[in-house]
Amino acid sequence: MRRKTLAMTPTVTPFLRWAGSKRQLLPKLSRYYTPGRRYFEPFVGSAALFFAVHPMRAVLSDINLDLIETFVRIRDNFRGVSTALEELSTGEKSYYSLRALDPKSLDPLQRAARFIFLNRYCFNGLYRTNLSGKFNVPFSPTKTGALPSREHLEACSRRLSKSKLVCSDFEDILLSEVRAGDFVYLDPPFAVENRRVFRQYGPTTFGFADLERLGKLLCELHERGAHFVLSYAYCSESRRTFNQWKTRRVYTQRNIAGFAKHRRRAVELIVSNIEEVY
């Protein structure tokens, strides 16, 4: 018999845009999570699934320090971040002036506001840096939406209030903390042969060696008695690496190059060691 989930809680959407976000797949991905389980997400991005399923306890992590520090500021002082956002002028000139600033010259609340501002108005929700580690995504003049309101940031802060936020490699955090009964959602960048993927952070990206590490890590999570769900590009690499687990193909809309005329239907693979929960 399928287990029933708890009553739905009010919807909270992410305060960030994020290239490769799984918002369209949330109805499918959320069916794998059983309320009450401790939740891990080691490639956190915008944390779309976390906000959708609302776990009571969570460990959210990423190798992107600026991203994690922004989540920390929203959790601990959303009012201060909101005030800093309200002080910023919108528009292309303001965007490039703010992008050119050294974030180290700003206080933590200003850095978080800068991160949210650049994320909101950048091209296609990308996070990308040059060889010097400087954010270099261009301004997008349309269809980015408004900056998150104070009420929106407060709702996100409440969801994050009992979450542990860590800047860490995915393998390090999971091997050190996951135990039996935990739930792990993994949405890594894609390492796909002969395909350019616009989800890369910068000079150091998720490559084939990392994909092999991930495949071995899933075995360890299973041995520990944890539940995991992984979303990945449907490709020969993923089929080969994850063929021992339960898999299903799903379809999602991709906005290639940020323009409607380049939208296409993409195929992804959901990988898990459990069945969906209804």
CA distance 242 to 214: 9
pLDDT tens per residue across span 70-125 = 999 999 999 999 999 999 999 999 999 999 999 999 999 999 999 999 999 999 89
pLDDT the model gives residue 254: 63
The residue behind tokens 């939740």 is 39
| Domain limits, the chain | 23-63+161-272, 69-152
pTM for the complete prediction? 0.89
User: Sign of the CA dihedral 65, 71, 72, 73?
Assistant: positive
State the pairing for strand pair 39-41/58-62: parallel
Topology, domain 23-63+161-272 = Rossmann fold (3.40.50)
Across residues 266-277, what is the average pLDDT? 91
pLDDT tens per residue across span 189-229 = 876 553 444 444 554 567 888 999 999 999 999 999 999 99
pLDDT the model gives residue 16: 97
Least confident of 3-17, 92-106, 131-145: 3-17
The Cα-based distances of 278 to 56, 154, 227, 275 in angstroms read 19, 30, 16, 10
State the pairing for strand pair 263-272/227-233: antiparallel
Q: Would the pLDDT of 21 be above 70?
A: yes
The helix (run of H) or strand (run of E) holding residue 247 is: strand 246-255
User: For residue 92, which of 112, 134, 122, 129 has the smallest C-alpha distance?
Assistant: 122
The helix (run of H) or strand (run of E) holding residue 193 is: none
Edge-to-edge strand list for the sheet holding 58-62? 163-167, 58-62, 39-41, 183-186, 227-233, 263-272, 246-255
Q: Indicate the length of the chain as a whole number.
A: 278
pLDDT the model gives residue 263: 57
112: left (phi over 0), alpha (psi -120 to 50) or beta: alpha
CA distance 129 to 111: 16
- Phi and psi dihedrals of 167, rounded to 5? -90, 110
The CATH architecture to which 69-152 belongs is Orthogonal Bundle (1.10)
> What integer best gives the mean pLDDT of the chain?
89
Q: How many CA atoms lie within 13 A of 21 on its CB side?
A: 22
Higher-scoring residue by pLDDT: 238, 256: 238
Rg for the chain (alpha carbons), in Å?
A: 18
